[in-house]
């Protein structure tokens, strides 16, 4: 079976949950400098469409900027209007997936069960996200890989630099990183430090 390939140079999706528009540029800047090219701003962040617009305007030529916690078609339309190109969902909503795929956006669809994973694929999702991964663990990833087609699989939820290699070894092509990377109010330099830790863990595993 061919190894699934992601559209990202570094398949670590940075999740800036709670980021403010006034600070989003500085955090995106350090992430891009550290090699990240997939950045997600969840829809439950303050004025998220403004943050997406700022990030896409400043960094859209170097990274895919998108929204996470995308729950409805209106979120997809708002993301597109803001210049975003990446849609990340926490669950399987076929209408949302179809809408995003139909608009030419990259989609990472969240799921928690094998049935949901196949429902997401049937709706057209090109990439999958096991969420919350820390609840299910790498054993779930290995089991999924025995039945899933060769599509990129991300682990999201509770991933640390120490557990990242374990999920990759189990069959994930990448991960999404939230609280271990960014928490509201932290400095951009702290974001840089954490981003570097994850990038180094990735590089050590893939060397």
Residues with a catalytic annotation lie at: 40, 129
Phi then psi for residue 104, to 5 deg, are: 85, 20
3-state secondary structure the chain: CCCCCCCCCCCEEEECCCCCHHHHHHHHHHHHHCCCCEEEEECCCCCHHHHHHHHHHHHCCCCEEEEECCCCHHHHHHHHHHCCCEEECCCCCHHHHHHHHHCCCEEEEEECCHHHHHHHHHCCCCEEEECCHHHHCHHHHHHHHCCCCCCCEEEECCCCCCCHHHHHHHCCCEEEECCCCCCCCCCHHHHHHHHHHHHHHHHHHHC
Encoded tokens for 33 = 């400098």
Encoded tokens for 25 = 């540029």
C-beta separation of 126 from 152 below 8 A = yes
């Amino acid at each position: 079976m061919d190894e699934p390939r992601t559209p990202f140079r570094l398949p670590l999706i940075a999740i800036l949950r709670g980021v403010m528009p006034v600070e989003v540029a500085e955090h995106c800047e350090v992430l891009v400098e550290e090699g990240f090219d997939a950045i997600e701003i969840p829809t439950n962040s303050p004025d998220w469409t403004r943050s997406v617009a700022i990030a896409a305007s400043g960094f859209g030529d170097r990274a895919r900027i998108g929204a996470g916690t995308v729950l409805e078609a209106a979120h997809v339309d708002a993301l597109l209007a803001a210049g975003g190109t990446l849609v990340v969902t926490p669950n399987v909503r076929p209408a949302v997936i179809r809408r995003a795929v139909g608009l030419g956006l990259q989609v990472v669809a969240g799921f928690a069960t094998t049935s949901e994973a196949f429902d997401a694929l049937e709706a057209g999702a090109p990439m999958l996200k096991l969420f919350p991964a820390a609840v299910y663990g790498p054993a779930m990833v290995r089991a999924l890989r025995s039945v899933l087609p060769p599509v990129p699989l991300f682990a999201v939820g509770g991933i640390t630099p120490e557990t990242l290699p374990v999920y990759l070894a189990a069959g994930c092509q990448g991960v999404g990183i939230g609280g271990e990377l960014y928490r509201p109010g932290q400095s951009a330099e702290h974001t840089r430090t954490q981003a570097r830790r994850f990038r180094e863990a990735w590089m050590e595993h893939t060397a």
